[in-house]
A and B are shown apart, each in its own frame.
Chain A
Amino acid sequence: MHLLTEIHEGSRVRFLEYSKDFSLKKRLASMGFHLGSEVFVVKNDSSSPVIIAIGETKLMLGRTLANMIKVELVSKGSIAS
């Protein structure tokens, strides 16, 4: 299990759990990002927000929020962050 912020760009991950924040879960779900969803990490450059995508929907997540998301690696990206 990793934190979303630790994942390299270009990786695919699966959302496993969020640390306690229930409103985050609701907000993400209404934007189409659910627990168990497979998510593509578009951008993660260690200081700017993390950009994630499912299909055509791209989302910017502040690093603090991204740090609350625990994920499982599905496939590793080639580009190092």
Chain B
Amino acid sequence: MKMAEASCPSCADEKSDKIIASGKKEFEGKLIIAGQPNCGKTSIFNLLTDSSQYVGNWTGVTVEKKEGILTLKNKKALLVTDTPGTYSIFGHTPDELVTENVLISKAYDILLITVSATTLERQLQFVLEASLINKKKILIITMNDELESQGKTLDLTSLSKSLKMPVAIINGRTGAGLVELKDSIEREIIRDESETQVNVNELASLSNPLSKKLQEEEKRLNIELLAAYKHLTVEHADFTEKELHISAQNVYASSLRFTEKKNTFFEKVTIFLDRLILSKYFGIPIFFLILFAMFQATFTIGDFVFSQIELVLIYLSDLANLIPIPIIASLLSSGIIGGAGNVLALAPYVFIMFLILSFLEDSGYMARTAFIMDRFMHKLGLHGKAFIPLVLGFGCNVPAIMAARTLESPKDRIKVALMIPFTSCSARLPVYALFSAVFFGKYASLVVLSLYLGGVLAGLGTAFLLSKTKLGGKSDDFLMELPPYRLPRIKNLFINTWNKTKGYIQKAGTVIVFASILLWILSYFPSGVEAGSEASFLGMLGKFLAPVFSPLGFDYRMTISLLSGFAAKEVIISTLSIVSGGLDLSSALPLMMNSATSLGYLVFILLYTPCLATVAVMRTETGSTRWTIFSVLYSLFLAYGLSFVVRSIALLFM
């Protein structure tokens, strides 16, 4: 399940565009990686491009686009693009349509078709479809070791001959076979393209019974014709499909050789794990146990690293305060170090959360949550597949909303997009971490866990309410592959996680520095006032809005922080730090609010609009301004109401 990868695609967008723009001049060729889901495309992409990757968006649509640079032995640089996995060249869901458009555009030099050896028979249908595109192609076979342990080997010469394309075997885990693949790419890139013409007669001759009919009917079957295939009559398309299926079976049968079966250990492990994980009774408890472990690990490790970085920040801030010019000292210590530095220091939490989510995806567990939660999701008028974007929301809401593209029904996509903002993303996590450590001591993790659960409940409640509107109605077109369990490759995990964390850090280094400086200016002027006080510009703005929030017990500083938090939730920390006038937050926060109010404040932060990027992506993904505005207003009201209730109850006990 590779549903969404970028942490904050809007941030990386610019850089990726630059690559595309320069690509026309600098690169000596373009490669496209395509294949069915779960075939190891990402491993191949990571192996080929190593660390030179850029994540951006496909122009016009918000589905992640991953590009990287492959440098050959002769120093030639090639641009490699990974595409969303698809079962057929002709897409069904919006993310698959992206791949369809890329493949049919033919704006590339070599198509790298990736297949896994263990499911080669069915994947050959895809390869045969792709073989009709008049472009140079290389077939990359992954997971061959798994096939061999089943007592089967592939005759590569025969396979290459039948498919008329070079075949390379790569071990995605160890990288064995990479040198040969690069050599093959080097040979293909300089080869004359006209030799690639595929003759449909040859393809048809692979299968006997129907080939004559095909030859008569479609002498010049090529990709343009096939593109119209979706609009053909049922019988016609049916016929093409059957033909492909039979061809695939023949190619497979002619290239498969049997050897001795080596072990069935892995099979037994899979059966055992699935019996447990997909069990009617244990499935859901195990899921919650895994979630709990995920948060525990994130906080335990995150707290430790953060406290170390915080020491450095305090030291730097003290150093900056030694500067004799007060305005510069203040800009550096409370504006930049306090504002952006604090956000940067919280990056370890984000990293660990993404690392664990990547692990769950790569291991095959994430796909299984769709099965486990299917029954429950039906009560909300959704089905199991809709659950995965919600879990991905724990990382970042933006790619999670994009991941809703894998759902077939437009109604479901809107519903899920409206639920996702309530799943606490990793940008909210630092805020919780900070507050709970200051106010709740040994109950900190309980408070944070409750916030996460509260968010999930708010999302589910929202879905329930929406099912009573015109978005209601049952949807059950749940159809999804159950991938085998795999031990994720450590390097892949780190590359993927780093790509996502990089988004967070880049944001802290650019947008948030800028926002911090702006906020600092507003807090420092008019000149002569105490920084961040009610007399500063920021204070005046806060004072103006404060009456709205006084029933919740929020003062002008907390109000202004919420306002800036609209841009991104991390900015709340920057703002609080700037308005507290140079004090470190651990000592400043208790002066600002009591613990009951802080709880209400956290509830508000949990529920109101996560960030501008989420609003923007919601607009493009749902295609509806009305639903987007609804989401913003609805979450504001919900935040206000529940914050009031929680604080009122907490005041009785605290």
Contact = CB atoms under 8 A, between A and B. Distances in A.
Interface of A: 22-32, 34, 43, 45, 47-49, 51, 54-65
Interface string B13-42: 000000000000000000000000000000
**What is the interface of chain B mostly: helix, strand, loop, or mixed?**
helix
Interface residues on B, range: 35 or more
B476 A64 contact: yes
A62 B478 contact: yes
B270 to A, nearest CB: 10
Contact of A65 (B122, B280, B372, B478): B478
B479 interface: yes
B476 A63 contact: yes
A49 B119 contact: no
A52 to B, nearest CB: 9
Q: Which 10 A-B pairs have the closest CB atoms?
A: A32-B122, A62-B478, A64-B476, A30-B88, A30-B87, A58-B482, A56-B118, A62-B476, A60-B480, A56-B119
Given A31-B122, A32-B122, A65 B384 contact: no
A62 B121 contact: no
A81 B375 CA distance: 16
B278 A57 contact: no
A72 B344 CA distance: 61
Contacts of B245: 29, 34
B195 interface: no
B481 A51 contact: no
6 contacts: A29-B241, A31-B481, A45-B280, A54-B122, A56-B484, A60-B481
Given A32-B125, A49-B478, 19 more contacts: A26-B88, A27-B92, A30-B88, A31-B122, A32-B121, A48-B278, A49-B371, A49-B374, A49-B384, A51-B278, A54-B122, A55-B118, A56-B119, A56-B484, A59-B481, A60-B478, A62-B384, A64-B477, A65-B476
A5 B652 CA distance: 53
Interface string B412-427: 0000000000000000
A27 B479 contact: yes
Contacts of A65: 476-479
B126 interface: yes
Given A32-B119, A62-B477, A26 B280 contact: no
Contacts of B474: 64
A76 B492 CA distance: 42
B375 A47 contact: yes
Contact of B375 (A22, A24, A25, A48): A48
A60 B125 contact: no
Nearest to B147: A56
A70 B412 CA distance: 27
Contacts of B251: none
Contacts of B375: 47-48
A63 to B, nearest CB: 7
Nearest to A22: B234
B237 interface: yes
A71 to B, nearest CB: 16
Contacts of B481: 31, 57-60
B119 A59 contact: no
B66 interface: no
A16 to B, nearest CB: 15
A60 to B, nearest CB: 5
B370 interface: yes
B507 interface: no
Contacts of A58: 481-484
A26 B479 CA distance: 12
A27 B492 CA distance: 30
A81 to B, nearest CB: 11
Contacts of A34: 242, 245
A43 B275 CA distance: 10
Interface in B358-393: 370-372, 374-375, 383-384
A26 B478 CA distance: 15
Contacts of A64: 474, 476-478
Contact of A60 (B87, B118, B242, B482): B482
Residue among A49, A58, A63 facing the most chain B CB atoms (10 A cut-off): A49
Contacts of B238: 25
Contacts of B280: 45, 47-48
